Amino acid sequence: MEAGVGIKEIQQRLGHTDINTTMNIYAHMTANMEEKASQQFNKLMKDLLL
């Protein structure tokens, strides 16, 4: 996920029949993902204010 791969693709690659299995194991937010999300949100908010 940190590399930009979607959760559905990860589920299929790992052979999980239930996407919740994939989400519970792999969908935790890493520090890098959290920083990137924060930057994207800040940019969105700045763009809205312009």
- Gap between the Cα atoms of 50 and 37, Å rounded: 20
- Residue 34 or residue 41, greater confidence: 41
Q: pLDDT, tens digit, for every residue of 2-29?
A: 888 899 999 999 999 999 999 888 877 7
Strand, coil or helix: 24: helix
Predicted pLDDT at 38: 93
Separation of alpha carbons 14 and 47, rounded Å: 38
CB hemisphere CA count around 9 (13 angstroms): 6
Mean pLDDT of 42-47: 94
How far apart (Å, rounded) are the C-alpha atoms in residues 38 and 45?
11
| Burial class of residue 42 (count of CB atoms within 10 Å of its CB; 0-12, 13-18, 19+) | exposed
